Amino acid sequence: MRIVVTGGSGDLGGRVVRELMSRGHAAVPASRRSGVDLSTGDGLDAVLDGADAVIHAATSQSKPQSVEVAGARRIGDSLRRLGSTAHVVSISIVGSDRVPYAYYRAKVDAEQALEQAGVPATVVRATQFHSLAAFFGTAGRVGPVTFSIGHMRIQPVDIDWVAQRLADHATGPAPSAFRWATDLAGPTAYTADDLAERLAKHDGRTTPRILRIPPVLPVMRGFAEGGILPGPEAEIGGRTFEDWLGDQPTPMPRRFHSPT
């Protein structure tokens, strides 16, 4: 199959491209560095022409409305213009409809844009990747102290497994219209204390003390009250946070994306 991967140069998209290629498919990365700009539509018709499926994994933390939302709309418009019935598989975030955070709002808007696009489409929501959980656990550390929003918990997931499940959806039977896939989550939920302890052990440091910030703002309450945790119906899979961490460099870099 010829499968276009928006954001194919990114952390998730790059893994999706490699996964599809390892299964013998023609995976075509589509992002600005390959001449496709979702915020303008430049290059989109050309790359989507002849596609059997599209995996929409492009994102912009600073401009999610133009990349994820307008991008989803533009993908739908382009496929209709081309007379294509390619199946669009789009990645979203568990709890994006429960936490009033601007980036999450854009994820919900992108889901709706796809639902209204009138093309065969599947939205897959996943929890935070292990790298983001590690980032939460390291970025807030100041000397012997780290922070938590109240008693917030997070149930992070293995990005490689998410890439595999997106590839499964794109290469499997396509729906005739819009559908929701089962949410994806990792095996275990962690508090900030759990993450701090595991990260400190990985780095050979003393476990920092947790300073709890009272969840005074609605967005903080959304996180603190379990808004990003998966429901009981979620599909659980992939490596645990501990297994993933075991493959990471020591000390764990304070960065958003997984180094491996």
Ligand X SMILES: NC(=O)c1ccc[n+]([C@@H]2O[C@H](COP(=O)([O-])OP(=O)(O)OC[C@H]3O[C@@H](n4cnc5c(N)ncnc54)[C@H](OP(=O)(O)O)[C@@H]3O)[C@@H](O)[C@H]2O)c1
Q: What does residue 154 show for φ and ψ, rounded to 5 degrees? A: -140, 140
Distance CA(182)–CA(193), nearest Å, equals 29
Q: What is the smallest separation between the CB atom of 40 and ligand X, expressed in angstroms?
A: 8
Q: In this structure, are residues 192 and 147 in contact, taking their beta carbons and an 8 Å threshold?
A: yes
Residue with smaller CB distance to ligand X, 7 or 222: 7
Which residue of this chain has its Cβ atom nearest to ligand X in the complex?
Answer: 10
Q: What is the smallest separation between the CB atom of 108 and ligand X, expressed in angstroms?
A: 11
Cis ω on the peptide bond leading into residue 251 (within 30° of 0)?
Answer: yes
Burial of 75 (0-12, 13-18, 19+ CB in 10 A): buried
The alpha carbon of 121 is separated from its chain's Cα centroid by a whole number of angstroms, namely: 17
Distance CA(119)–CA(26), nearest Å, equals 21
Distance CA(85)–CA(9), nearest Å, equals 25
Residue with smaller CB distance to ligand X, 58 or 174: 58
Q: What is the smallest separation between the CB atom of 140 and ligand X, expressed in angstroms?
A: 16
Q: What is the smallest separation between the CB atom of 173 and ligand X, expressed in angstroms?
A: 23
Q: What is the smallest separation between the CB atom of 160 and ligand X, expressed in angstroms?
A: 12
Residue with smaller CB distance to ligand X, 144 or 243: 243
Distances in Å between the Cα of 155 and the Cα atoms of 3, 43, 52 are 30, 37, 33
Distance CA(81)–CA(101), nearest Å, equals 34
Residue with smaller CB distance to ligand X, 93 or 234: 93
Q: What is the smallest separation between the CB atom of 6 and ligand X, expressed in angstroms?
A: 6
Residue with smaller CB distance to ligand X, 95 or 208: 95
Nearest Cα residue to 71 out of 96, 105, 106, 123? 106
Given the rule CB under 6 A, which residues bind ligand X?
A: 6-7, 9-13, 31-33, 36-39, 57-60, 67, 91, 93, 107, 126, 128-129, 132, 257
Residue with smaller CB distance to ligand X, 55 or 174: 55
